[in-house]
A and B are shown apart, each in its own frame.
Chain A
């Protein structure tokens, strides 16, 4: 995300940057990702009157809640570890952990276990993954990418083994009420996502702990010199993210009425896409919890809009790919321009 762009740019080819330097274009570039989203939404609203109906919007809210919650968890880890994806903080095992939670929860409920007990078991397993990640990164010294990659493989394998790689259909009154229920017309999954947003935003932006966590992610050595222990904050962020994954596993169980094997791959890509697209919505172009969740919502809304316009579902992946490139490229160009 933050490459030293200026130094490495050969002086003979500054055209792109010169173009970006005129004030009007500069503003356009800074707001380009938002503009793209706005234009797409106007196009969709014109193309289908159903798009802006509350029924559709609440369906989008319902569908995007799990992705948004996972993206929020990832945003916390990225904040604590720094936004260099390969050496900084990242937790790609989150969707796998959430899927493990879905598997255990569904399996236990189907076997007649009371909800509270099933939930506790699922939560314990998901948090254990968070602790494993924290230990691998802080104690063993693996980079977060490598550590969570390894735990992704382990957790996906464990999930397959625990649930025997089969589809589990859950028909539990509580899960059904999460799936279908509304609070003041807002779908319950969206309420869950809102709660996660409030808790995590408050924790990171309004507490001393959160500020220190941001500081250790922003500049590791500076934080160390100021007497902070960046590893401590990174470890805490992995555990916090796994708590978000616990919430996500409830919402996911409701969304799928149980578990369908293999949902974690799609979730992984969407989570990463949402989190880093979300950086475009922050003033400093950094990954934030609200930005990540907004990213998840907008990406889901685009998918839904294309569906309403009868766009081939296979082309939605293409749109996502182009979108991430537009957003990230404009952020990179703008960052290079600002220096």
Chain B
């Protein structure tokens, strides 16, 4: 690790440069390790699972991991956008639920085609976003509390209209709708294709467009962004509506796969989506939420869950280990950083 120490007999002028070079090197190694500490942990886990569970590296298992986490990835991407704008969205579960629920109702009770049902689902999700945006932009409620309120209201609406959470089945859904989950495009499962398209859209929006720069600016310093002439309210409305419409898509995929809608099922994606966003942010130089990092965060969660599953551990023990690994991995990802993680602060 350490470079050779300069000999004491050397001229004094040489010593500082040598030690400077050394410290620059060690700092660089340190930077790389601390920035990519999470990637190293990720690969360590992948290698461990590959050694302990033969099926892990099977191509079909790897496709399984991707397919099983496409829904989470879409939700986490939407969360990335919201967190980048300085907010948080606790109601993504509601938008997921509403997307699938309204799509099924549109097809079952109103005989709409699958494409219109898709549109209805996305619009239903967007409506959740409109409510959030109104509360946050108009009434100046903080995103955490506004979306918490939306969560209570949305959960209640689902319970009222499904008699307390009864499933809404639709066995006769058209094959085209069903193929949103079960089909394949050029041999790649549709879910992965949809998640990839969403990923590209979010990448271009958030990291390759002036709008993304402005959204990041709002997230970093809202008052400065406002003074610089950025239309903060307009962007916030867009962020919350677009994010909710996006996650509605994952709800639609879920219902297409199960041929039924299970009320309140979206909540389970919330914590994982937040975790993935922050894992991703830990790898960014300025610790900002970013699309590539979120993708890596989702893959990490997926790989750990899949690997522990393949090792044949008890279901309850697996849940415990997953949680403990998440704590450890986050601790490692953020450890040894001089700046506090508050840089991702919102």
> How far apart sit A22 and B318, CA to CA, in the bound complex (Å)?
59
B6 to chain A, nearest CB (A): 35
With A87-B345, A154-B323, A318-B152 as given contacts, are A324 and B316 in contact (CB-CB < 8 Å)?
no
A107 to B231, CA, bound (A): 56
Asked if A52 is at the interface of the complex by the 8 Å CB criterion, the answer is no
Taking a contact as CB atoms under 8 Å apart, the answer to whether A4 and B144 are in contact is: no
Determine whether B242 belongs to the interface, using a CB cutoff of 8 Å to chain A.
Answer: no
Say whether B14 faces chain A, with CB atoms less than 8 Å apart.
no
- Main secondary structure on chain A at its contact with chain B? helix
Q: Are B322 and A157 in contact (CB under 8 A)?
A: yes
User: Distance (Å) between the CB of A94 and the closest chain B CB?
Assistant: 15
CB distance from A208 to the nearest CB of B (A): 26
Q: Is A194 in contact with chain B by the CB < 8 A criterion?
A: no
Cα A132 to Cα B330 with chains together (Å): 13
Contacts of A158 in B (CB 8 A): 320, 323-324
Question: Shortest distance in angstroms between B228's beta carbon and chain A's nearest beta carbon?
Answer: 12
| Contact in complex: A325, B140 (CB < 8 Å) | no
For the complex, is B68 an interface residue (Cβ under 8 Å from A)? no
Q: Which residue of B lies closest to A156 (CB)?
A: B323
In the bound complex, what is the Cα–Cα distance between A149 and B145 (angstroms)? 16
B152–A153 contact, CB under 8 A? no
Is A314 in contact with B341, judged by CB distance below 8 angstroms?
no
B331 touches A136 (CB 8 A): yes
CB–CB A157/B324 < 8 A: yes
A155 within 8 A of partner (CB): yes
CB distance from B50 to the nearest CB of A (A): 24
Is A132's CB under 8 angstroms from B222's CB? no
Q: Known contacts A143-B342, A276-B145, A321-B156; is A157 also within 8 Å of B140 by CB?
A: no
Instruction: Report B-chain residues with C-beta under 8 Å of the C-beta of A319.
Output: 156
Bound form: Cα–Cα A229–B233 in Å: 36
Mask, B308-346, CB within 8 Å of A = 1, is 000000111111111110110011001101011110111
A60 at the interface (CB under 8 A from B): no
Nearest-neighbour CB distance to chain A for B264, whole angstroms, equals 10
> Which residues from B are CB-within-8-Å of A136?
327, 330-331
Q: Which of A34-42, A69-77, A168-176, A326-334 contacts B (4 or more CB under 8 A)?
A: A326-334
Chain B interface: which of A5-13, A119-127, A210-218, A246-254?
A5-13
A86-B346, A87-B342 known; A314-B334 Cβ under 8 A: no
Distance from A163 Cβ to chain B, minimum over Cβ atoms (Å): 9
Whether A157 touches B321, Cβ cut-off 8 Å, given contacts A87-B346, A143-B345, A328-B141, is yes
Confirm or deny: B33 has a beta carbon within 8 angstroms of a beta carbon on chain A: no
B26 close to chain A: CB less than 8 A: no
Question: Is B186 in contact with chain A by the CB < 8 A criterion?
Answer: no
Cβ-defined contact, A161 with B148, below 8 A: no
A318 x B153 contact (CB < 8 A): yes
Residues in chain B near residue A7, CB distance under 8 A: 223, 226-227
Q: Is the CB of A160 within 8 A of B150?
A: no
The verdict on B189 contacting chain A, using a C-beta distance below 8 Å, is no
Give the interface residue-count category, chain B: 35 or more
Q: Which listed residue, B139, B156, B227, B334, touches A142 by the CB 8 Å rule?
A: B334
Q: How many residues of A contact B (CB 8 A)?
A: 56
Q: For B164, list chain A residues within 8 Å (CB).
A: 314
Q: A273: CB under 8 A from chain B? A: yes
Q: Which residues of B contact A155 (CB under 8 A)?
A: 323
Known: A8-B223, A10-B233, A321-B150. A165 touches B316 (CB 8 A): yes
List, in ascending order, chain B residues with CB within 8 A of A165's CB.
315-316
- Report the minimum CB–CB distance from A31 to chain B (whole Å): 18
Q: How far apart are the CA atoms of A315 and B227 in the complex, in Å?
A: 43
**Within the assembled complex, what's the spacing in Å between the Cα atoms of A276 and B316?**
33
Within 8 A of A (CB), among B140-180: 140-142, 144-146, 148-157, 159-160, 164
Interface residue from B320, B344, B346 paired with A157 (Cβ < 8 Å)? B320
Question: Is residue A49 within 8 Å, beta carbon to beta carbon, of the partner chain?
Answer: no
The reply to whether the CB of B104 lies closer than 8 angstroms to some CB of chain A is: no
Chain B nearest CB: distance from A12 CB in Å?
A: 11
Pairwise interchain contact B341-A149, C-beta atoms closer than 8 A: no
In the complex, which residue of chain A has the Cβ closest to the Cβ of B339?
A141
Q: In the docked arrangement, what's the CA distance between A164 and B317, Å?
A: 9
Does A85 lie within 8 Å of B330, measured CB to CB? no
In the complex, A109→B324 CA distance in Å? 26
Establish whether residues B334 and A141, one from each chain, have CB atoms under 8 Å apart when the complex forms: yes
- A141 to B142: give the CA distance in the assembly, Å: 24
Q: CA separation between A318 and B151, bound complex, in Å?
A: 9
Kindly state the separation between the CA atoms of A76 and B157 in the bound complex, as whole angstroms: 33
Which residue of B316, B334, B346 is within 8 Å of A160 (Cβ)? B316
A1 to B327, CA, bound (A): 28
Which A296-339 residues sit within 8 Å CB-CB of chain B? 312, 314-322, 324-325, 328-329, 332-333, 336
Contact assessment for A142 and B330 in the assembled complex, using a CB-CB cutoff below 8 Å? yes
Beta-carbon nearest neighbor of A10 in chain B: B233
Q: Could you write out 21 A-B pairs with CB less than 8 Å apart?
A: A3-B140, A8-B223, A86-B88, A136-B327, A136-B331, A142-B334, A150-B323, A151-B327, A153-B322, A154-B323, A154-B326, A157-B321, A160-B316, A314-B164, A316-B156, A318-B152, A318-B157, A320-B152, A325-B146, A328-B141, A328-B142
List 3 tightest A-B contacts by C-beta distance, closest first. A321-B152, A87-B345, A154-B323
